Amino acid sequence: MNKLSSVVCVGGGPAGLYFGLLMKKQQPDCRVTVVERNRPFDTFGWGVVLSDQTLGNLRVADSESAKLIGEAFNHWDDIEVFFKGRSVRSGGHGFCGIGRKHLLNILQERCMALGVDLVFETDVSDEHAIAAKYNADLVIASDGLNSRIRTRYENVFQPDIDQRQCRFVWLGTHKTFDAFTFAFEQTEHGWFQAHAYKFDGNTSTFIVETPEEVWKAHGIDQMSQEEGIAFCQKLFGKYLDGHDLISNAKHLRGSAIWIRFPRVICKTWVHHEDIQGKRTPIVLMGDAAHTAHFSIGSGTKLALEDAIDLANEFATGEDTDTVLQAYEARRSVEVLKIQNAARNSTEWFENVDRYTGMEIEQFAYSLLTRSQRISHENLRLRDAKWLEGYESWFAKGPAVPPMFTPYTVRGLTLKNRIVVSPMAQYSAKEGVPGDYHLVHLGARALGGAAMVMVEMTSPVPEGRITPGCPGLYTDEQEAAFKRIVDFVHAQSDAAIGIQLGHSGPKGSTQLGWEEIDEPLAQGNWPLVAASAVPYGEQNQTPAAISLQDMETLKQAFVDSTRRAAAAGFDWLELHCAHGYLLASFISPLTNHRTDAYGGSLENRCRYPLEVFAAMRAAWPQDKPMSVRISAHDWAPGGTEPDDAIEIARLFKAAGCDMIDVSSGQTTRDAKPVYGRMYQTPFADRIRNETGIATIAVGAISEADHANSIIAAGRADLCAVARPHLADPAWTLHEAAKLQSRAVNWPKPYLSGRDQLYREIARQQAMQASQAVVADAAPHEGG
């Protein structure tokens, strides 16, 4: 074991206290000191929330304090949502509430019982002095959200502090709620929401939140503390049953009790200082290192789990540097997962107005799944009866998983909500799709998806990405595509669509299995783009396309559109994303034009809109058209989500039926923030702010993801790429998994052949499951 002689925790919140008691328990001979600026047993705030899972972690780490905390908790399973005069209640959520003061009291008493030195009413302005006083081997900076230590070494820790958009006030009330309660009230200036939960026998936390502009419009910023509380009490009076709202922050004046939540992310958590000739590590923990919005209730959880993790690392016996590196590496990843979920949750509450057109059933579902951590099947585990009722409401009939509900747009009805996303295959010869494409697309059409999409296909030879990419500018190409379309229509009930696009500055590159995005070794063709901006230093610099060539290319798009109609395609998509030619007009990173097609966003969209309008006029009116856009360039100065809203509105006005929402790939300098369903929030925002239907795409790899997206109204269709590439029958296999979990739905939602294939897949899944059980059985109890 790595022996420490002295540890100092600066800050006596949950992180400092819990790490102190865990280290003292682990190394009784180590002197552990927790220094706190407030008085003994003094704290501000009301209740805190922990999940059942976190409480389980506490039991493993220190059963004695966990027992006391567990006995003090008020436990509830239900969440109740009040909206537009109605309420929805679901169960099985497993929360625990405890007063913050009571929690700290338990930890303080446990520290004292173990021999931790608690030093109160000491404001640490110099961590060097306090470390020197106690001859510390380790300093834990657990000094909270406004950490002085973090600020002092901000050049090392590099904190990124984002002040969020809503104002909130943390109040209490003696009205006791029997469920975690979300209440939404509309005023003449906008929406307010309350988050309320009981944390002891006669007291509840009552947080009121609203966008800053709504808060200011009501003049709350000019009110006294008492006036602001009275405003909230009147607005939410029907939920309080005559009880008052109470503040325990009387030391703050006026509207200072209303704050904006600061999201804190630090690049590094460990710093070393020379203190009295000793290299002493200073380590961030809890809110000093990170914050997660209160709407997912994880601030205290993260602090306690930081303490558990670091204490466990010291128990390995490794040297201190190795311990601290492992702590930072693991916890920073775990915290990032929570912060990503918290970001989604925060943005949901910041934009409640986006969802207020929904009925309460979908509004509540959207709220429950807002972080994207709680999924459709997770809700089934929590409250199967409630979810089945929601599925029935969504399907307008017998309950069916949302991804298997049909969807109609113009004259086309898709049998379900799954689309095989267009994926470059690099297998065409002179732009002509062959037997490979017949098998590739045909197999996926038989795999249960509602529609298969052909990869980006160019209207001109020089618009291909690579020599292996398809085109639609010759009779031979048209005939080859018709062969594929006819097969799909004859042998399946899937629809088939084609995506037309021009590679622009990203053309004349090698096949995907060679050096992707790199220029050809020989035989490169000239490139054009909105401006003479190369995709990367190693790529060709394209010529800025002339007005005359723009007209010629527009006509080529129209000609390809007519060929697509003649080939029998059901759906047409225009590619305006990922830095290709039309996207190069839209992004300010690639459009430096000074004519009518450059400058403002409206001007930058002008040419893509002209192309779209000309194609729409040539495409049959009873068939849908979509447009793929990059909702975020993920690079400074590029397209942002706010721009995507306006782009979607412009295409909607031009007659677009659906926006296929992707992001990135405009520049090699892009730095996307990846994660499961990471692009879905863009589709959600576009759909619910502009009223145009959307396709979600990107890291959607399970039926659970698709069901959650569709059920919550974040998108209308889900485009699944890599999973369908690996498994042509992905949709049927996911259906089989759902059925194997005893999820049943009416047979009309699957065609005869789909039912046959699903039954085969279901039997395979059951056999595999039985094999696993049989293999595991001898080891039970071992």
Catalytic residues: 580
In terms of residues, how long is the chain? 782
Instruction: List C-alpha distances in Å: 452 to 444, 598, 685.
Output: 7, 35, 25
Contact 387, 362 (CB under 8 A): no
Encoded tokens for 219: 């003049």
Show the 3-state SS of 78-111.
CEEEEECCEEEEECCCCEEEEEHHHHHHHHHHHH
Of 301, 292, 287, which Cα lies nearest the Cα of 342?
A: 292
E strands of 240-356, at which residues? 245-246, 259-266, 270-275, 278-284
Which residues does residue 630 pair with via DSSP β-bridges, in sequence order? Answer: 662
The Cα 475–Cα 85 span in angstroms is: 61
Tokens of 574: 């225009």
Q: In Å, what is the CA distance from 730 to each residue of 424, 679, 723?
A: 18, 21, 7
User: Comparing C-alpha atoms, which of 504, 524, 464, 530 is closest to residue 665?
Assistant: 504
Tell me the C-alpha distance between 22 and 142, whole Å: 15
In 378-521 the beta strands, taken as DSSP E runs, fall at 407-409, 412-414, 418-420, 451-457, 495-500
| Closest by CA position to 212, among listed 260, 143, 251, 146 | 260
Q: What is the DSSP string of 465-480?
A: SSTTS-B-SSHHHHHH
Alpha helices in 13-62 (DSSP H): 14-26, 52-61
d(CA 743, CA 737): 9
- Residue 595, CA distances (Å) to 4, 481, 553, 614, 739 in order: 69, 38, 18, 21, 58
By C-alpha distance, which of 705, 690, 578, 589 is closest to 631? 578
- What tokens does 160 get? 């990124």
- Which of 105, 294, 71, 98 lies closest to 198 in space, CA to CA? 98
Q: Are 127 and 141 in contact (CB under 8 A)?
A: yes
- Sheet bearing 270-275, strands edge to edge: 117-119, 31-35, 6-10, 138-141, 278-284, 270-275
Q: What are phi and psi of 229, to 5 degrees?
A: -65, -40
- Determine the residue type at 751: S
The residues, ordered by sequence, that sit 6+ positions from 280 with a Cβ below 8 Å of its Cβ are 131, 136, 137, 138, 139, 272, 273, 274
* 248 SS3 class: coil
Q: Which of 253, 288, 44, 294 is nearest to 166 (CA)?
A: 294
